[in-house]
Structure 1
Amino acid sequence: MIQLRRVGPDRFIAALDTVLTIYAAAMRPPPDQLPGRLAIMRNHATYPDFVCMLAEAPEIVGFAYGFHGTPGQWWHDVVRRALRDRAGAPIAENWFGDALEIAEVHVHPDHQGKGIGRQMLHGLCEGRRERTAVLSTHDAPTAARHLYRDIGFVDLMTEFVFPGGYEDYAIAGTALPLSPPVG
């Protein structure tokens, strides 16, 4: 049985080794990228209104986290500027002016396909004061992309390549609060 637990920055930092192991198993990045990802995650825990959902069975098998996006945060600035350039300032302001930025959602491969990601997303968004939630995901027909669409996320931009990157991403958003989960 999966238990979801909402934790703040301190508990998230304490679980970073486990979180990074789940990230590596789910995403399979080159090993030399893991120290940088660890530093990014540690930095994210310092952002305003940071919250993390841990899925435990009883060990941690998944995590999702986000925070209030503000100017001066790399992802926020890069994506908001790109949306402004593609769709105009009013649309960028509507989506990013008061947004929960969902930075990571990962479930260990041994536990995928059981609704854990959906539960974590709903738990992460529950009770948030922001007007919208935004995220980036690979611009491909992945299980994650299907999940986000099923929950109510719509594409704000597709074929987006982050500076210094080479992969296409989709930037997606939804209004908060989320519709209640079905079933």
Structure 2
Amino acid sequence: MGADEFTARLGSVIYIYSAAMRPPTDQISGRKCIMRNHSAYPDFTCVLAELPDRTPVGFAYGFHGAPGQWWHDVISRSVVELLGEESAYEWFDDPLELAEIHVHPDFQGKGIGRSMIYALCEGRKERTAVLSTHDQPTAARHLYRSLGFTDLLSRYTFPGGHELYAIVGRTLPLPAPTSPNLPHGSCTL
């Protein structure tokens, strides 16, 4: 879905985000604002995983990363400082930024996250896909590694933050799914 439908369904998206991430309640309004702002970025696309009765159980979205976007600027500067300008150019000159990927806890471990990533990346013209994730041995970290994402930065702390993140990337396109049960290009369950 595009920006308009995403904004109209932001309540469902925030519900899934809150269930998956369990943020403090006072951070929800700020997260909604960030998500609404992301929907205005170039080539924004969201994939919503739904049950047959249209109950949403997961979402993922991304957009074309470009200078002037907070995450893009902060991370590309950090990559320049730690890995050099050539690496920053390689990863951040033409990226698909996968900003949010979340599955409701009741539905995790069923291939929904993987399917959403494939659907989101399918047909994209960007050269790379990049994202940040908690730098811990989580299911999400395992998923990204299994899709060929490699660490660009590890033990990374965002300005003003305290949690450790990994910044990961891979070239596009993604290889074809290896599981015959994986719904390629679709996220309706």
Settle same-fold status: TM greater than 0.5. Answer: yes
Match of 1:176 in 2: 172
Measured after TM superposition, the shift of residue 118 of structure 1 is: 0.1
Aligned to 1:153: 149
Paired residue for 1:34? 28
* Aligned counterpart for 1:116 among listed residues 101, 106, 112: 112
Residue 181 of structure 1: CA displacement? 1.0
Q: Does 1:17 align with 2:11?
A: yes
Paired position in structure 2 for 1:46: 40
Matched-pair identity in %: 63
Residues 93-144 of structure 1: per-residue CA shift (max 9 Å, x gap): 0000000000000000111110000000000000000000000000000000
Residue deviations 1:62-120, cap 9 Å, x none?
Answer: 00000000000000000000001000000000000000000000000111110000000
1:77 to 67, 73, 80: 73
Amino acid at match of 1:77: D
Q: Could you say what secondary structure the match of 1:155 adopts?
A: strand
Inter-partner Cα distance in structure 1 for 2:45 and 2:36: 13
Cα RMSD (Å) of the superposition? 0.4
Query: In the TM superposition, what are the counterparts of 1:82-101 in structure 2 within 5 Å?
Result: 82-101=78-97
Aligned length: 177
Could you tell me which runs of 5 or more consecutive residues in structure 1 were left unpaired when the two chains were aligned.
1-6
1:55 aligned residue = 49
2:48 maps to a residue whose letter is L
Letter in 1 for 2:15: T
- Partner of residue 8, structure 1: 2
Cα separation, 1, equivalents of 2:35 and 2:64? 15
Q: 1: CA distance between counterparts of 2:38 and 2:136?
A: 26
Match of 1:167 in 2: 163
Q: Distance in 2 between matches of 1:116 and 1:41?
A: 21
TM-score, with length taken from structure 2: 0.93
C-alpha separation between the residues in 1 aligned to 2:50 and 2:66? Answer: 30
Letter in 2 for 1:46: A
Match of 1:3 in 2: none
Shift of 1:175: 0.4
Which amino acid is 2:150 matched to? V
Give the distance between the partners of 2:60 and 2:105, measured in 1 at CA.
15
* 1:42 to partner: Cα distance: 0.2
Structure-2 separation of matches of 1:182 and 1:29: 34
